[in-house]
Amino acid sequence: MPLMKKFSLFGTLILSFLSYSAPLLADYEDGVNAAFDGDFETALREFSIAAEAGLDLAQYNLAILYFTGQGVDQDMNKAFHWTEAAAQQGHINAQFNLGSLFLAGQGTEQDVDQGVEWFARAGKAGHADAAFALASMYAEGDSVSRDRVSAHAWASQAVRNEHAEAQTLLDELEERLNASELSQARRLFARWQIE
């Protein structure tokens, strides 16, 4: 499982605006339009204005520019900074990316506990790849202690989040768990649904 995928700016630009001011949204929208046109210099400028003003969507997309080096020199420290800013505001794609950055030690010191925590936040909020990554990590003991109960619960979350490969992993895990472990895993997953 790659810890950090190259991000596709075009596949991740988000146009939901909620309750932000019109000028701030105009800056952000100008950045989105510029990015779609391949004008990353303008996208950088406009995303920076909106990101500095606190718009999580702009922070997320600015982080993507710094991560990929589109329109700017690649800068993992700035990618981390803006990813963290958006993640702190609840942007689930940023939460997943922040977990990936912590696990890989990109733009920050490697911190498995923080990586797992951010994956968990994103996974519980509906991010399919975050839940599947945790299921895989716990199933294999990759960066964490092997824990089939947690792996099953995360695979169940990934199925709920509609990850394409999650059902296969869930089925494999169910074959390995005894009745007590399966019951524990199902209770854990159920607890997450009411939190």
DSSP string, 99-162: HHHHHHTSSS---HHHHHHHHHHHHHTT-HHHHHHHHHHHHHTSSS---HHHHHHHHHHHHHTT
Task: Report the pLDDT value the prediction gives residue 22, as an integer from 0 to 100.
Answer: 61
Identify the DSSP state of 35.
H
Tokens representing 181 are 């472990």
Tokens representing 108 are 């920050």
Look at domain 22-110 and name its CATH class.
Answer: mainly alpha
Residue 42, classed as helix, strand or coil, is helix
Cβ atoms of 169 and 155 within 8 Å: the answer is yes
Burial pattern 54-81, b for ≥16 Cβ within 10 A else e, equals ebbbbbbbbbbbbbbebbbeeebebbbb
Task: Report the pLDDT value the prediction gives residue 28, as an integer from 0 to 100.
Answer: 85
d(CA 70, CA 36): 12
Domain with CATH 1.25.40.10 in the chain: 22-110
Per-10-residue mean pLDDT, the chain, length 195: 37 43 72 90 93 94 95 96 98 97 97 98 97 98 96 98 97 96 97 92
Tokens representing 11 are 């596949």
Cβ atoms of 144 and 179 within 8 Å: the answer is no
User: What does the pLDDT look like over 21-59, one tens digit per residue?
Assistant: 566 677 788 888 998 999 999 999 999 999 999 999 999
Task: Report the pLDDT value the prediction gives residue 24, as an integer from 0 to 100.
Answer: 63
Tokens representing 193 are 């649904």
